[in-house]
Amino acid sequence: MGLGDMLKKALANDPALPPPQNPGLSSTKDTVEVEFLPSNKKVKAYLGQNVAMIAKAAKVDIKYNCNKGECGTCTVNFNGVNVRACVSSLPSTSTLKKFTIGVPTKK
């Protein structure tokens, strides 16, 4: 048994351990489904992704003005809570796999 074999054995994962969890450092990110109401458009998104970017990918029209979260023009209902789309993101970690964003209709 050579040095290479010893290192390979020493660095091997213990089969008794559970599979490793994604620490967020690799290129694989957890995806979730985001549904926009009232249009019912659905799109896949990454945890931590900006709401405005998700809306753009879903081709959902949200009105913006200041893009700083100060004016309230872009207020949407995110899972029952009013947030400003220009400065809000999906949570970076979540057990939920689906989120709902309600966009005000034009008056």
Place 56 in a pLDDT band, splitting at 50, 70 and 90.
Answer: very high
CA distance 97 to 105: 26
Other CB atoms closer than 10 Å to residue 67's CB: what's the count?
Answer: 14
Nearest to 45 by CA among 103, 90, 100, 102: 90
Question: Residue 93 above 90 pLDDT?
Answer: no
Mean pLDDT of 55-81: 94
CA distance 83 to 72: 9
pLDDT averaged over every residue in the chain: 86
The pLDDT value given to residue 4: 78
86 and 52 Cβ atoms separated by less than 8 Å: yes
Q: Is the peptide bond before 23 cis (omega within 30 degrees of 0)?
A: no
pTM exceeding 0.75? no
